[in-house]
Amino acid sequence: MAFRGFLSETLGAAARVSRDAIAGNRAARREVLKMIAKREKWLATKMPKKYRPMEMLTEPTDPGNANEALLLLGIAEPDTRWDDPNDEYERLLLLPWAVQAALSRPGRRRLSPREVSEIKRCTREPETLRWPPGTE
């Protein structure tokens, strides 16, 4: 019971000091900073460190099923300009509706000339695209 009273008084005092600090009392601000430093010191000694080094995970190769998904969803079609039977990659062109949906998203940033060139190179019928203002 005595501890409960002590805890109540301590928390009440901390709340009072915090209110005073927010109100602009400089002495209360210093007291709050001391309380924070004391808490940080206690946490540093008592709490276990939860630091784990970051592990870098990378995909060693480009997944082949991404092209299958684009074809299945109707987002892309095979690029007929590449007819080399020895080519190990399946070349695709994005369909204009999908590119237009990306270009028309709100909050977009300005495209660089290089990005515009890449979009045109990778899109079937790029001349049908409506470009955002300030592009091209």
27 or 10: which carries more pLDDT confidence?
27
Model confidence at 5, in pLDDT bands (50, 70, 90)? Answer: low
SS3 content of the chain, % helix, strand, coil (to 5): 50, 5, 45
For residue 84 the two structure tokens come to 């080399």
What pLDDT, on a 0 to 100 scale, did the predictor assign at position 3?
A: 47
The percentage of the chain sitting over the pLDDT mark of 70, rounded to a whole number, equals: 87
127 or 132: which carries more pLDDT confidence?
127
* pLDDT one-digit tens code per residue, 92-119: 999 999 999 999 888 777 888 999 999 9
Q: What is the mean pLDDT of residues 16-42?
A: 87
Q: Which residues of 93-127 are buried (b: 16+ CB within 10 A; e: fewer)?
A: bbbbebbeeebeeeeeeebeeeeeeebeeebbebe
Answer for the pair 35, 15: CB distance below 8 angstroms, yes or no.
no
pTM of the model: 0.52
Q: What is the mean pLDDT of residues 124-130?
A: 93
pLDDT averaged over every residue in the chain:
83
